[in-house]
Structure 1
Amino acid sequence: MKLYWTPGSCSLAVHIALRETGQPFAMARVDIMTKQLEDGGDYRAVNPRGALPALELDDGQVLTEGAVLLQYVADKAGGGALIPQALDLPRYRVLEWLNHLATELHKGFSVLFNPGAPDAFKQAVSAKLTGHFVDMNEALTASEWLANDAYSVADIYAFVISNWAGMVGIDLSGFAALEAFRARVAARPAVQAALKAEGLA
């Protein structure tokens, strides 16, 4: 498999999942602004939408969309690693979080990273995102992990998204359970390896 990535972006979640499951993979860095690959190629030839992440499978097919890639990587590893088996209710608890993170938090941060978005709109989005972090903090007060009392791809995705908060002025220091969660995830060897590989640690 080949992961198309940019340091610290949403592709980091898939990078971490690949390392957590011990699956072999190559990496192809993308300049997300120019859509250019390190070798000079056009990333849009891989993913016509131009968005990250993308995962090229061993047979040459390409999958996109972070929440989908996280499920694929976990399922490919087998044995319920990072996500419970299909038709087990706990799997859908993980998927609830994955979808919430993708549609409510990830999409919100996309607005805040857009230099053309009006300031008043950004303030409203920041307030909404803070509310989602309040909810996440409450969930993590009851459990070390977001779903099923077990580390999963939802936790990986939440960790990556929460790393963006400081970049846009959202202060998470008042959320003790969330901060403890972030420290737990950050301390994992696979997470440390991914952060180091991306020049983030």
Structure 2
Amino acid sequence: MKLFYSPGACSLSPHIVALEAGIDLELSRVDLKTHTLENGDDFSRINPKGYVPTLQLEGGELLTEGVAIVQFLAEQKPNANLAPPLGTLDHYRLLEWLNFLSSEVHKLFVPLFWNGSEEEKNKAREKILRRMDYIDQRLQRDYLLGDSLSVADAYLYTIIRWLQAKHFDMSRWPKLQAFQERMEARPAVQQALRNENGGDA
């Protein structure tokens, strides 16, 4: 399988999940400003949506949207225990977190990364603060679903890196800081960062 990614973008989440699950992925870097691959090919011809992550399956089919891709990857290696079994309450808790992170947190960063007006940026920052306050309060154990890693944690970790990139004061969220440290101690996270940063974690 091939993962189309851009360093630091939300494609970091499935990259981490694949490494945690022991799934070998070919990586193809995308320049999101020019929508081109490293060889100059037009990425929009692969994914007309124009953004990452995009996962190309062995048969050539494409899977898009990060929350779908991470669940697909988790189900390829159920023994990795990155997603609770279908039909359990914990499975729906996972969907709850993935949907919250995608719809209520992720999209708030758009004006911060893509030249929003000052008013748009200020409104986004205020909402991000409230959303992260909520997550920090809910993070009662090591990970979002308890004591073991799930695919939602890879997504949350990616978002925490955006907070740092946009100079949020992380001391406001002590539980999230501890979560970040736990994630960065994981070999799969370290490897993903090295892969995406040319060998530097």
Q: Place the TM-score, normalised by the shorter chain, in its bin.
A: over 0.9
Whole-angstrom distance in 2 between the partners of 1:101 and 1:69: 15
- Give the structure 2 partner of residue 132 of structure 1: 131
Q: Deviations over 1:4-37 (max 9, x none)?
A: 0111110011100010000111011111110111
Given candidates 152, 155, 172, the residue that maps to 2:153 is 155
Matched residue pairs, number? 199
Residue 80 (structure 1) shift: 6.0
Q: Deviations over 1:37-96 (max 9, x none)?
A: 112211111100101110000010000001111111111112362101111110111111
In structure 1, stretches of 5+ residues that fail to align are none
Given candidates 164, 167, 179, the residue that maps to 1:166 is 164
Whole-angstrom distance in 2 between the partners of 1:190 and 1:78: 17
- Identical aligned pairs, as a percentage? 39
Residue 177 (structure 1) shift: 0.8
AA aligned to 1:143 is R
The secondary structure found in structure 2 opposite 1:29 is strand
Whole-angstrom distance in 1 between the partners of 2:92 and 2:67: 13
The secondary structure found in structure 2 opposite 1:79 is helix
Whole-angstrom distance in 2 between the partners of 1:11 and 1:107: 14
- Give the structure 2 partner of residue 119 of structure 1: 118
Residue 166 (structure 1) shift: 2.2
Asked if 1 retains the 8 angstrom alpha-carbon contact of 2:111 and 2:117, the reply is: no
Residue 150 (structure 1) shift: 2.3
* Mean CA deviation greater in 188-197 or 164-173: 164-173
In structure 2, stretches of 5+ residues that fail to align are none
Whole-angstrom distance in 1 between the partners of 2:174 and 2:125: 19
Whole-angstrom distance in 2 between the partners of 1:111 and 1:77: 36
Q: TM-score, normalised by structure 1?
A: 0.95
- Give the structure 1 partner of residue 29 of structure 2: 29
